[in-house]
Structure 1
């Protein structure tokens, strides 16, 4: 230990750590939970409520729960907690829907390839990143071939896609496709060309003024009236298009807010360097605007992913539809809590992961927040 009583020559005193009460968990608790009489009372009340709630929740969800059983009645005979046996028995349907069992390996392979395609996008230290980007660009075609069946693979109707797989397909497609479209709409709305600006404004305001469920109904029913007789337009593809344009309209407004936050001097500096419009946007303006817009963009993506459950209303069997179908079985009737908690956990894992990556990206790109 450093001797604090020793006398040092000027400029030779060693650096000492701050006092214990000015750093660490104790300091955080004092500053955030016990820094005023009101906060002390609220902290004590919160701790008491947690004392009442947490043991009961743990007993219901884990200690008294039943994980293996053949029916709801059997669950109640074994334990008094949650009956997770339904999620165990119907796990395949919750994840894959009614996709043929002998072909579910294609969904698993698609999931693994999707993670590999995300690596160069989300992690800038990926080895040979420039080559990985080529694979990431080709992944949508690979995923389509695997899921639907082409090039010698057994074909599968898109109506067989269901469960959480359908939610992920719709969510990921909407997120990936809406971002570049939303950026173009935001640039078009700020364009000096009146026709382009007017068309972008009309598109954005119309889409933002209509609920997503209305657009899904248009895609599932009314669109057929405008197609030539005998024309078939896959329902899942229609839903993907509607979800994409719906998300793009909101992304456009988020990006427009980021563009307006860029000082005019940045654009003037790019012009002074001789950069053309698209060069200045790509190299100077958009990188700064997108950094500012990260929280809003991710918030829109999280909302979009949760809204994928709306497809159950137009007849597609997503994870929520599978849960409702499972509850209609007489053997499992009355387990709504378990079903919806299980579905909520699936969505929470995905949405929480997106939120945490957003925070990591903000800190990494120095968007102006305190570190």
Structure 2
């Protein structure tokens, strides 16, 4: 395509998008009324919020300086920044959770790139997770830090990464078991999935804290973070299994028949033909669940684990900075938004990338 053709195509695409937007906003009487109502609501909310967050805000100083102003106290966020991110982790050792965050984010970024979808990636996951745990605990680099002192964003990322990473292969097996022709296996999978999906996550966390230790033979004590991650993984796997099952049901029977005609067995058919197509179909659902699971990690507060949100709430209980909950929650919400919005954009990019791969 020449440069002149490109210049013609780009305005055409822009005009098409503008027409689609105009149709969505004002294409009917209902759409017009909704657009007007939404615009009025934004005009009522946004200017006072902008004034509080920016124009009248106190960007530095003490709590007394903030009390004299009428806007947000971002000086509080600056003063409690490290506590919100790392909670009670010893300040002189906070390079450890910082390094753990870098490792986990790098692992997620590499995993998100299709060009790295190789066998080596399956080795990288347990290595990075084990290294992160040992680094946080101080096993390799003394002094050790008990898990009760862990908190903030590293704990949120660690629990989310480990639990979702482990829940996905378990969910695939559950989805296959639920569609199995073996009646006993199918009913066991159905019972597990429905039990987990019908139980609140708070109850699952209480089971991890109170019931799971009694079920362990010999009265051995397992760290509460590990107990919580075990139960969360099982809980999340039930939800992911239903999404994967929807993808399996979308595969046409001709795919199975063609694999049988080629002499492929059950597992080779699933690994080479069915699952790659099914997982590609459910990418939006998987990303949506991942975003929801990230937000659900805030429930760890009910069992005394200081995740990001709980650390933000606790930062406002400091007697020197008492009561600045709005600023703490806004800062935590901004961090959550960065990860969730990034995940949604990645989902759209991956869908487009896979479509281009199909065309090639």
TM-score, shorter chain, exceeding 0.5: yes
Give the unaligned 5+ runs of structure 2.
Answer: none
Q: How does 1:85-96 map to 2 (within 5 A)?
A: 85-96=75-86
Give the unaligned 5+ runs of structure 1.
Answer: 1-13
The residue aligned with 1:187 is: 176
Q: 1:22 to 1:138 in 2, by over 3 A?
A: closer
CA offsets 1:109-150 (integer angstroms, 9 cap, x no match):
222222332344211345x96656643452112212211222
Asked if 1 retains the 8 angstrom alpha-carbon contact of 2:101 and 2:154, the reply is no
Q: 1:298 to 1:193 in 2, by over 3 A?
A: same
Q: 1:327 to 1:240 in 2, by over 3 A?
A: same
Deviation at 1:323, TM superposition (A): 2.8
CA offsets 1:262-319 (integer angstroms, 9 cap, x no match):
1111111111111111110011111111111112222222121111111111111222
Q: Who wins on radius of gyration, i.e. which is larger?
A: 1
The residue aligned with 2:66 is: 75
Deviation at 1:93, TM superposition (A): 1.2
| 1:169 equivalenced with 2:161 (yes/no) | no
| 1:225 equivalenced with 2:217 (yes/no) | no
Asked if 1 retains the 8 angstrom alpha-carbon contact of 2:135 and 2:141, the reply is no
Query: Among residues 31, 35, 46, which one is paired with 2:27 in the alignment?
Result: 35
| 1:47 equivalenced with 2:39 (yes/no) | yes
Q: 1:108 to 1:256 in 2, by over 3 A?
A: same
Q: 1:140 to 1:52 in 2, by over 3 A?
A: same
Q: More deviation in 174-183 or 145-154?
A: 145-154
| 1:121 equivalenced with 2:91 (yes/no) | no
Deviation at 1:320, TM superposition (A): 2.5
Q: TM-score, normalised by structure 2?
A: 0.88
Number of aligned residue pairs: give it: 351
Asked if 2 retains the 8 angstrom alpha-carbon contact of 1:120 and 1:129, the reply is no
Deviation at 1:38, TM superposition (A): 4.7
In structure 2, distance between residues paired with 1:16 and 1:322: 52
User: After TM superposition, what 4+ stretches of structure 1 lie above 6 angstroms from structure 2?
Assistant: 18-22
Q: 1:110 to 1:189 in 2, by over 3 A?
A: same
Q: TM-score, normalised by structure 1?
A: 0.86
Higher helix share: 2
In structure 1, distance between residues paired with 2:7 and 2:99: 54
Q: 1:125 to 1:288 in 2, by over 3 A?
A: closer
CA RMSD, Structure 1 to Structure 2 (Å): 2.7
